[in-house]
């Protein structure tokens, strides 16, 4: 059976993170063939592209989770903050989501993630 | 200086989790005097009661975070799912937020939290 | 484009955890349509079914990870220990993998996971 | 070279958790020979028995860590709270250490661990 | 009702981390108004300023927790090590607390945090 | 009683990470006397040197665990990837173990660890 939603997975990936598929293929394709396809198909096709929750709210969830985990995956947190901004989150909404995580992941984790957000916002302003 | 927003912290706590202040005082007050006040003042007064993000979205963030951390604090996850429902999240929105966390906290953590959500939903239906 | 490997994902899921697809559909299908398909397609089709690493070694990795995370997803740890046994891991190999995690996730996490393993082994012996 | 401090490791284990060595051997010895010896030699001989920090303070550190990790290893948290009490921590000191972890591991993790502490205190009172 | 202990929260913050309130306001105030006040009022007023446990022991708990979480919030770990030193912890006590965490957060987490501590100690010596 | 296996712990440490004992002593010996001995005796003597699981498989477990924990201890992850390579893991096997962790520690954690692995592989190629 064909899985037509996969096409929209790839398209959604490209819309939210332009160039992501090619960048992943170039960086990881030699050692993990098919990894870029899996990310598009899975993250975007099977999860972000699901009905039932709008994209903006999905990024609230993602930013909250990566913050509460301690911001140890800072590059990916920054990519998701940037994508969340594209999906409609204001800078203040991003900051509020992160700051609230002080209650669940601790204050150091929240401050750590706020610093990542400030870097994303500065890059936006620099454009 | 008086801090009038604290009153709304207590009121918000009571609105979202009726009886929580008295329950905390009864259970923990003998060993941690002032703990119930801290929870009301801090969690609700300093965080949930902030402007900048609506309550419903705040619960999306909380449910996402507790899920991604592995659902190891299941009783508190259930309390927050119930409060999120009261703040306007549909059962499907709760489930979608949790399921998306498979991408960030892993599939076992997401399934674990889904089971907690199903328990909350069953308790709702039993009312 | 059809994705023929997905079929083997479903078949692999069924081989390692008989009845898993139907069980997931029954339990979660009403609130998360397509979730069981995603698990088969993703976990088994996109990851466990990949070439480059044999199944037995893949379960070593999974059991190690769930142990080091603190065994907070105990039901899923037990499912993966049982599947790892089916993929060829001896009881002693499972125990050694878990115990080594004392170095990375701490001794309490390792002991916690050992207890889960002992439960799986007792269920095997009871058959 | 003989390592005489190991003897004190075993003795310290026995002092803080009477019967622990035999219990571990009985439960895990068939599948992990030498595990009980490793726990005595390592946890007590190489760490708790070190000079430079008194035992009472060492248990503060341990209780704090297990709390901040989410209390997912609740049985081990309870064992360490009981041992910390034996090393001189008051019930209030234990509760204060745990509650402070709300700042670092989140409020749900702290409340979760407080519940474990209350169970230990109740068992003490029941003696 | 006025909450007089809040004043001591601010004073305690200033004593342990001179300039922290102004630094937080400058860095985060534009996007999270009131955040610096929350940190002073909550972290110092509601937690560190509580009776029942001396400050030095409170920093033992904090350093232990941040170490066991993997040192992923290294800047905040360093701030707390420096504050713990000011509250009376010796360099050796700090190192012993961290190293003991090898048992609970794993050896890599402990070594990671030791490196952060060495940086703090070098900055002390450079003064 | 002498513990002859400790000698093999030291020898195994030296074989897998040449110079590690002296490097640890130089860096940490002044503040944590005996720490290098503990690492050799415990990590290598009590765990890696155990029978029941070959070294190559032990490194699969370690790499999986450090990846799933979010790669927050990146220097130690790189050391273990390098040691795993020496114990017989191919670059592709290392990459497959890490990538599979997307299912358990989340995609950001897996990508984070893949980047660490690529750095190790580049250092190998540069020799």
Distance CA F93, CA C57 (A): 9
Contacts of D123 (CB under 8 A, 6+ apart): D82
Percent share of chain F, pLDDT over 90: 81
Mean pLDDT, all residues of chain D: 91
Mean pLDDT of A113-118: 96
Kindly indicate the confidence band of residue E112, based on its pLDDT and cuts at 50, 70 and 90.
Answer: very high
Beta bridge partners of B2: E2
CA-nearest residue to A34 within chain C is C46
**Cross-chain residue pair C46–A50, CB shorter than 8 Å:** no
pLDDT at D5 over 60: no
| Per-residue pLDDT tens digits for D49-92 | 999 999 999 999 999 999 998 867 788 999 999 999 999 999 99
The per-residue DSSP string of A48-64 comes to IT-SSS-HHHHHHHHHH
Model pLDDT, residue B7: 58
Model pLDDT, residue C127: 79
Identity of the residue in A31, A69, A76 whose CB atom sits nearest the CB atom of F111: A76
Kindly indicate the confidence band of residue E105, based on its pLDDT and cuts at 50, 70 and 90.
Answer: very high
Q: In chain F, which residues have their Cβ closer than 8 Å to the Cβ of E93?
A: none
Model pLDDT, residue A70: 81
Q: What is the Cα Rg of chain A in Å?
A: 15
Residues of D at the A interface (Cβ-Cβ below 8 Å)? 68, 103-108
Q: What are the φ and ψ backbone dihedral angles of B78, each rounded to 5 degrees?
A: -65, -40
Residues of E at the A interface (Cβ-Cβ below 8 Å)? 27-28, 31-32, 35, 39, 43, 66, 69-70, 72-73, 75-77
Q: In chain F, which residues have their Cβ closer than 8 Å to the Cβ of D2?
A: 1-3
Of F62, E52, D18, E66, nearest to C67 by C-alpha is: F62
CA-nearest residue to E66 within chain A is A108
- The CATH label, of 1.10.10.60, 1.10.260.40, 1.20.1290.10, 2.30.110.10, for the domain at A53-127 is 1.20.1290.10
Model pLDDT, residue D6: 52
pLDDT at F4 over 80: no
> Residue ranges per domain, chain E?
1-51, 53-127
- DSSP assignment letter at D90: -
Model pLDDT, residue A7: 58
Model pLDDT, residue F71: 66
| Per-residue pLDDT tens digits for F31-68 | 999 999 999 999 999 999 999 999 999 999 999 999 99
Q: What share of chain B is helix, strand, coil (3-state, %, to 5)?
A: 75, 0, 25
- E contact chains, 3+ CB pairs < 8 A: A, B, C, D, F
Evaluated on CA atoms B70, B76, B82, B83, the torsion sign reads: negative
Beta bridge partners of F2: D2
Percent share of chain A, pLDDT over 70: 94
Model pLDDT, residue D7: 58
Identity of the residue in A1, A3, A42 whose CB atom sits nearest the CB atom of C46: A42
- Specify the higher pLDDT residue, E73 or E46: E46
Residues of C at the B interface (Cβ-Cβ below 8 Å)? 27-28, 31-32, 35, 39, 43, 65-66, 69-70, 72-73, 75-77
pLDDT at D22 over 80: yes
Model pLDDT, residue E7: 58
Beta bridge partners of E2: B2
Distance CA B70, CA E109 (A): 19
Mean pLDDT of B81-98: 96
CA-nearest residue to B53 within chain E is E32
Percent share of chain B, pLDDT over 90: 81
């Amino acid at each position: 059976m064909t899985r037509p939603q996969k096409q929209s997975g790839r398209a959604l990936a490209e819309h939210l993170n332009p160039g992501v598929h090619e960048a992943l293929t170039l960086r990881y394709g030699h050692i993990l063939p098919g990894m870029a396809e899996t990310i598009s198909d899975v993250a975007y096709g099977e999860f972000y592209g699901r009905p039932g929750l709008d994209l903006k709210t999905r990024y609230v969830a993602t930013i909250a989770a990566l913050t509460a985990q301690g911001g140890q995956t800072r590059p990916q947190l920054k990519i998701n903050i940037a994508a969340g901004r594209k999906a409609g989150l204001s800078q203040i909404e991003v900051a509020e989501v992160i700051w609230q995580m002080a209650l669940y992941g601790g204050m150091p984790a929240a401050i750590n993630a706020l610093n990542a957000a400030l870097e994303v916002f500065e890059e936006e302003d620099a454009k």
